[in-house]
Amino acid sequence: MTIQELIQAVEEATTPDSLVQAVRSLAATRDPKSIPTLIDVLGYNNPGAAIAAVEGLTNIGTAAVQPILEKIDGYNYGARAYSIRALAAIADPAAFEVLLQAAATDFSPSVRRAAAKGMGRLHWEKMPPTGVSAAQSQAVGTLLELTQAEDWSIRYAAVVGLEGLARALGEELTSEQEAIRHRLQALYQQDAEVAVRARAHQALQVAPACLGT
Amino acid sequence: MSVSHPESGNGLTVESAIANLSHPDTSLRYYAAWWLGKFRIGSADAVAALIEALQDEDDRTELGGYPLRRNAARALGKIGDPQAVPALLECLNCEDYYVRESAAQALGEIGDRSAIPPLQTLLAGGVEAAQQVPGRPHLTQPYEAVLEALGKLQANDAIAAIEPFINHFLPRIQYAAARAMYQLTHEPSYAQYLVDALTGNDVQLRRSALLDLGATGYLPATEAIAQAKVENSFKLISLKNLLAAEIQASDDFSSPRANQIMDWMDALL
pLDDT of residue A75: 87
Mean pLDDT of A20-39: 96
Could you tell me which residues of chain A have a Cβ less than 8 Å from any Cβ in chain B?
47-48, 109-110, 113-114, 116-117, 150, 152-153, 156-157, 160, 188, 193-195, 197-199, 201-202, 205
pLDDT at A208: 66
Calculate how close chain A gets to B155, using CA atoms only, in Å: 25
Nearest-by-Cβ selection for A110 from B229, B232, B259: B232
Per DSSP, B8 falls in state -
% pLDDT > 70, chain A: 98
pLDDT tops 90 at residue A200: yes
B64: left (phi over 0), alpha (psi -120 to 50) or beta: left
**CA B17 to chain centroid:** 24
CB atoms within 10 A of CB B119: 22
What's the pLDDT score for residue B6?
43
Chain B: which residues have CB within 8 Å of chain A?
A: 5, 7, 229, 231-233, 236-237, 239-240, 243-244, 247-248, 253-254, 258-259, 262, 265-266, 269
Nearest to A156 among B5, B253, B265 (CB): B265
**Does the distance separating the beta carbons of B247 and A198 come in below 8 Å?**
yes
Q: How many angstroms away from the CA of B160 is the closest CA of chain A?
A: 33
Q: With an 8 Å Cβ cutoff, are A156 and B231 in contact?
A: no
Q: Is the pLDDT of residue B191 over 80?
A: yes
- What pLDDT digit, counting tens, does each position of B126-179 carry? 999 999 999 999 999 999 999 999 999 999 999 999 999 999 999 999 999 999
pLDDT value of residue B9 = 53
Facing A193 at nearest CB: one of B7, B240, B259: B240
Rounded to an integer, the average pLDDT of A165-176 is: 87
Pick the residue from chain A with its C-alpha nearest to B233. Answer: A110
**Angle at B31 (CA atoms; ends B30, B37), nearest 5 degrees:** 100
Q: Do B254 and A202 touch (CB under 8 A)?
A: yes
> Taking 50 as the threshold, does the pLDDT of residue B3 lie above it?
no
What pLDDT band is residue B259 in, cutting at 50, 70 and 90? very high
All residues at 6 or more sequence positions from B161 whose CB lies less than 8 Å from its CB, including other chains:
B120, B123, B126
Nearest chain B CA: its distance from A2 CA (Å): 31
User: How would residue B32 be classed by pLDDT, with cut points 50, 70 and 90?
Assistant: very high
* A197 interaction partners in chain B (CB closer than 8 Å): 253
Question: Is the CB of B243 less than 8 angstroms away from the CB of A197?
Answer: no
* Alpha-carbon distance B157 to nearest alpha carbon in chain A (angstroms): 30
Residues of B in contact with A115 (CB under 8 A): none
Partner-chain residue, chosen from B232, B259, B266, that has the shortest CB–CB distance to A160: B266
For residue A213, name the pLDDT band (cuts at 50, 70, 90). low
Judged against a pLDDT cut of 60, whether residue A146 lies above it is answered with yes
Are A198 and B236 within 8 A, CB to CB?
Answer: no
Report the candidate in B202, B198, B127, B136 with the shortest Cα–Cα distance to residue B169.
Answer: B127
- Taking the CA of residue B202 and the nearest CA in chain A, the distance in Å comes to 15
Q: What is the mean pLDDT of residues A161-181?
A: 90
* One-letter-per-residue 3-state SS of chain A: CCHHHHHHHHHHCCCHHHHHHHHHHHHHCCCHHHHHHHHHHCCCCCHHHHHHHHHHHHHHHHHHHHHHHHCCCCCCHHHHHHHHHHHHHHCCHHHHHHHHHHHHHCCCHHHHHHHHHHHCCCCHHHCCHHHHHHHHHHHHHHHHHHCCCCCHHHHHHHHHHHHHHHHHCCCCCCHHHHHHHHHHHHHHHHCCCHHHHHHHHHHHHHCHHHHCC
CB contact under 8 A, B243 and A113: no
